[in-house]
Structure formats: C-alpha cells, structure tokens
Amino acid sequence: MTSGFFNGIERIQYEGVDSQNPMAFRHYNPDEVILGKRMEDHLRFAVAWWHSFAWEGGDPFGGPTLERPWHPQDDMGRARMKADIAFEMFELLGQPYFCWHDADIRPEQGNFAENLNALEEITNYIGEKMQVSGTKLLWGTANMFSHRRWMSGASTNPDPDVFAYAAATVKSCIDATHKLGGENYVLWGGREGYETLLNTDLKTELDHMGRFLNMVVEYKHKIGFKGTILVEPKPQEPSKHQYDYDAATCIGFLRKYGLENEVKLNLEQGHAILAGHSFEHEIAVAAAEGMLGSIDMNRNDYQSGWDTDQFPNNTPEVALAYYYILKAGGFTTGGTNFDAKIRRQSIDAVDLVSAHIGGMDICARGLKAAAAMIEDGGLDAALSDRYSGWNTPKAASMLESSLEQVYDRVIDEDINPAPKSGRQEILENYVNRFV
C-alpha cells in the first residue's frame, strides 16, 4: 500500500536518447557498463532528505509554499509518514542511496535526551525500510546550524556547553549512521565561522574545531565505524567567514590537526563557485592530496550569488567534474548526493520526481562524456606533451640539485627558454566534441 502522494507516477525507466517521455531517463541506464563498471556504481546517487522532504518552501520573504501531508514536522507519526514517502520516491527513481541530518528525520523535541529517543526510534524505522527496499545510506550528518542554540557555532562556540552539546549530538549521529550501515559521515561546518572579529578569538575557535574533529575520529575507530569521515568546504553563508573556506583551506586545517589520513572532503559544486573556483578545481585539489571523498552535485544561480541549491543542468560542467573524479580513480565510499531543492513554486509531487530525473540524467550524460574523453585520451596526450620536457634525465635531476647548481647550468648551457603555446582554445574545442 502506497501513500498516494506520487499517484500516477510509475517507476522511472531508461528509454534512451530518442524518448520523448518526460518521466523517463534518456541517459541514466544503471546497468550500462562504462569503463568496466556499471553506471549506477560509478555515480552512486543519493537523495538529500532535507531539501526533498524537510524543506517547506520558505525563503527570506515568505513562508512555506509546499503543503505536504507530513507537515507540520513536529511529531513522530508525521516523521514516519515522511520516511514512508521518501522510500516511495527512492523506489520510483531507483535511487540507491540517501542522506540525512538528524533534524530532517526526527522532530525537534527541545532537549538532548528526547531528541536522542526520537532519533533512535526513527532510525530503527528507517532501518527496517532499508532492509525491505535495499536502499542504502550514503551519509548521515548532524544539523548544528538551524536551531538557535547553534547561532554562535557548534564546536567553535565560545560557550563550552554548546561544544558539549555538539559533541553529544555528533556522537548520536555517528551511532545512528553506523547502525544503518552508512558509508560516510559528513561534517559541514554550518556556523563554524564568524560574523565579526571584534567578538571572535579565531585561534581558539580553530583549535577547538581541530580537537573536536579528532574526538570524532577517535570515536569512529573506537566503535569500529568503517565509513569515511568527510568535511564539506564552503566559503560563506550562513557565517560571513566560514573556517572551512574551500578544499585547500580544509586540507591545510586537516594537516595542522594531524587528520590528513583520517578525513576526506565532500565537495559541493555550488560551494566551489561561491569560493571563486570551478568545481573541477576543487575536485583536482582534493584528488592531488588523496582527499577526494564525495560530492554534492547542486549548482547555484549564477546571478544571485547565493547557495541556491538547484539541480544540476549543465553538461559541460558536470562532464568536467566527472572527468577529474574518474581520473582520481572514481568514488570509493563517496557518491553523488543531490544537495538540491526544487524551486518554491514547484509545489507538486511530479516536480520533485522530475527534478531528480533531470539531475540523474545530466550526471549520466556528463559521466558518459567524461568516460569518452578518457577513452579517447586527447587531454592526457596534451598534458604529457606539455610536460614532456621533464622526462629527460637532465631536467628530472634538477629537482635533486641545489639552487646554485641550477644557476650554473643556466650559465654553462646558456639556457634561454622559448615560450610555447598553452593551446587552451584547442583543448576547449576538444572538450566540446564530447559534451
């Protein structure tokens, strides 16, 4: 017996590029083998519980627009109904994974002990649904930014009681993630940052955040949680200055606090853009350090400059993201989470399903383009050509020598480099052949 919420929508099927059916996949074909691996196993799609089922459609100028049968989200009965409908949608879409914050799946009860009870009850319920449906948990996380208790941060809060509440909250969420067989645990530093330096001891806050993350890692090992701990960079919003600004900042932070072998990054397309980077830049930076974990595949509106969390719809961008993910060896425990929400005028169930169809299709299309570029080898060939000068023993040995030795070489051999073209337009034209 289904709820009827998705009435009239049948299980979404792959129909191929010629299909005119808006309720079908044209590119996402889970069993299609790409570079020796099933498409589903490459992409590892996940639905974000918060945007798809907890968000009510409010914006800074107006209240809820999405009227759902599980609103208001203040009791356990409606929390269970929300879970029932979430799993109906996972099944309609063939979504292999989902993600949650504690606050998305259980109602806020006002104190820790009651929140914990509610979390245990709802995760037991979700666990049973996972058994039946086979849908898996990509990651769990704690919402330590919405409730007013977090307004001055969680682990970076000047009040030690908030630090304590945050530690207890994360422990409960790792326990729940572990119980549900989650493959990662994410910490996005919601309000780990500041509004003004005038009231902020920046060094103390960073030290507390570093210790907090070490406590998380110690606990993970203590309980035998095999998933990956991920932090998610974002430069601003909600805080004016977020400590986890971008991939490079996070990597420096993780190294400083001795976590470089323990923690990886969950990179979000929209956050990359807010930081003044491209998504593929963030992916390449993380991959270069062996810290690429997972992705949140949602874009921003390019004019508004907010984290608008829209479903992806740009093949060239998505293709380059997957190109660098594939070059880094693909996902291990990570996956593609749609940290994306429909627009507040998209009030029908069909809008929610269609948004995911489109997101999954664009990612599949991007993945196929990325794989085709890898198979063709054009970008690799251009790169090895550009760096080929370093293949000579003379050039390689320079890295083993001293500054004066290199100086002598320039004098002795009268080295006078001739500039070579970077071939950017030719390479951009090349990429356009695939996307």
Quote the tokens at residue 393: 């023993």
Task: State the number of binding residues for Ni ion (CB under 5 A).
Answer: 4
Burial class (CB in 10 A: 0-12, 13-18, 19+), 158: middle
Residue 156 CB, nearest distance to ligand XLS (Å)? 16
Contact region for Ni ion (CB under 5 A) — 14-22, 305-313, 361-369, 421-429? 305-313
Specify whether 101 is catalytic: yes
Q: Which is nearer to ligand XLS, 107 or 190 (CB)?
A: 190
Q: Report the run of H or E that residue 71 belongs to, with start and end.
A: none
Q: Which residue has the tokens 């930076």?
A: 285
Specify whether 104 is catalytic: yes
Q: Which is nearer to Ni ion, 220 or 271 (CB)?
A: 271
307 known member of a binding site: yes
Which residues, numbered 247-286, are part of the site for ligand XLS (CB under 6 A)?
268
**Number of neighbours of residue 296 by Cβ within 10 angstroms:** 24
**Residue 141 interacts with which of Ni ion, ligand XLS, none, CB < 5 to 8 Å by class:** ligand XLS
Alpha-carbon distance values, 51 to 9, 76, 121 (Å): 20, 19, 22
Candidate list 51, 101, 178, 208, residue with the active-site label: 101
Work out whether 234 is an interface residue with ligand XLS (CB under 6 A).
yes
271 known member of a binding site: yes
Task: State the number of binding residues for ligand XLS (CB under 6 A).
Answer: 10
At a CB cut-off of 8 Å and minimum separation 6, what does 16 contact? 26, 29
Binding flags for ligand XLS, 131-170, as an x/- string (CB under 6 A):
----------x-----------------------------
DSSP code per residue over 318-338: HHHHHHHHHHTT--SS--EEE
Q: Report the run of H or E that residue 82 belongs to, with start and end.
A: helix 76-93
Q: Spell out the SS3 assignment of 116-147.
A: HHHHHHHHHHHHHHHHHHCCEEEEEECCCCCC
296 known member of a binding site: yes
Which residues, numbered 187-226, are part of the site for ligand XLS (CB under 6 A)?
188
Which residues, numbered 324-343, are part of the site for ligand XLS (CB under 6 A)?
339
Question: Contacting Ni ion (CB under 5 A), which of 175, 246, 282, 296?
Answer: 296
Rounded to whole angstroms, the Cα distance separating 227 from 187 reads 13
Rounded to whole angstroms, the Cα distance separating 202 from 208 reads 10
- What does the binding site for Ni ion look like in residue numbers (CB under 5 A)? 268, 296, 307, 339
Interaction site with ligand XLS (CB under 6 A):
101, 141, 186, 188, 232, 234, 268, 296, 307, 339
Q: Which residues are known to be catalytic?
A: 101, 104
